[in-house]
A and B are shown apart, each in its own frame.
Chain A
């Protein structure tokens, strides 16, 4: 059973640098979600795609953040000009269509800003 895969698992970078994370969803899932989780808090929704269309973006997603899912398969999340406050776990999830269907999460990319 191939689950949701995220790369890299850890990223350390200096403030002001750009970073990009990749998410490979479960292959038959057409919905893909990005969340952010800081220490001691539950995950917070950032954005989601249905196939290649980005359907919703949270107010948490500042203009330094951009997400793409060019062919409706894998997705990338880019953060430009990183800030200390961007340090967090970035989680990806995917789901199929239908009422009641659950989301399946990857183990995340942990971003540390020096």
Chain B
């Protein structure tokens, strides 16, 4: 997987928007940008992914820079349940499917009540 860089930790207040950045300056034209999160004592949970255009789903939005060298995961209204480690990953695909993912250290998101 191509390398990504994320802040070690971020803090936000409950019910406020959260913007989690990710740099991926060596991204190739065919790399998808995926975000996963991991709550304590649970397996990672898929959040969202995109290729070139911004994406929205029920969990979050993904804003992708025009040059694709960075992206931002947006939680529109954080709750205490959003406290987790967030991973930005550029999976490698071969044989028609994803290869094993390379998780970095991710961003530890702390939500203050």
Could you give, for residues 72-112 of chain A, a 1 whenever the CB lies within 8 Å of some chain B CB and a 0 otherwise? 00000000000000000001010111111111111110000
Inter-chain contacts of A30 with B (CB < 8 A): 97
A6: shortest Cβ distance to chain B, in Å?
8
Please judge, given known A-B contacts A43-B103, A100-B32, whether A55 and B95 are in contact too, CB under 8 Å: yes
Residue of A nearest to B43 (CB): A105
- A: residues with CB less than 8 A from B are 4, 30-31, 33, 35, 41-48, 50, 55-56, 58, 91, 93, 95-108
How many pairs, one residue from A and one from B, have CB atoms within 8 Å of each other in the complex? Answer: 72
Contact present for A95 and B98 (CB under 8 Å): yes
Residues of chain B within 8 A (CB-CB) of A93 are: 43-44
CB distance from B106 to the nearest CB of A (A): 6
B interface, over-half SS:
loop
CA distance A33 to B106 in the complex (A): 20
Chain A residues with CB under 8 Å of B34's CB are 102
Chain B residues touching A, range: 20 to 34
In the assembled complex, the Cα of A64 lies from the Cα of B60 at a distance in Å of 41
Question: What is the minimal beta-carbon distance from B105 to any residue of chain A, in angstroms?
Answer: 6
Residues of chain A within 8 A of B51, CB atoms compared? 100
A42 and B66 CA atoms in complex are apart in Å by 29
A19 CB to closest chain B CB (Å) equals 19
Q: Which residues does chain A contribute within 8 Å of B7, judged by CB atoms? A: none
Residue of B nearest to A99 (CB): B93
What separation, in Å, do the CA atoms of A6 and B96 have in the docked complex?
Answer: 25
Cβ contacts under 8 Å, B46 to chain A: 102-105
Task: Indicate with 1 or 0, residue by residue over B84-111, a CB within 8 angstroms of chain A CB atoms.
Answer: 0101000001011111111111100000
Are A42 and B106 CB-contacts (below 8 A) given A31-B98, A56-B100, A103-B101? yes
Q: How many whole Å from B60's CB to the nearest CB in chain A?
A: 13
Task: Please measure, in the bound complex, the distance between the C-alpha atom of A105 and the C-alpha atom of B98, giving whole angstroms.
Answer: 14
Minimum C-beta distance from A106 to chain B (A): 5
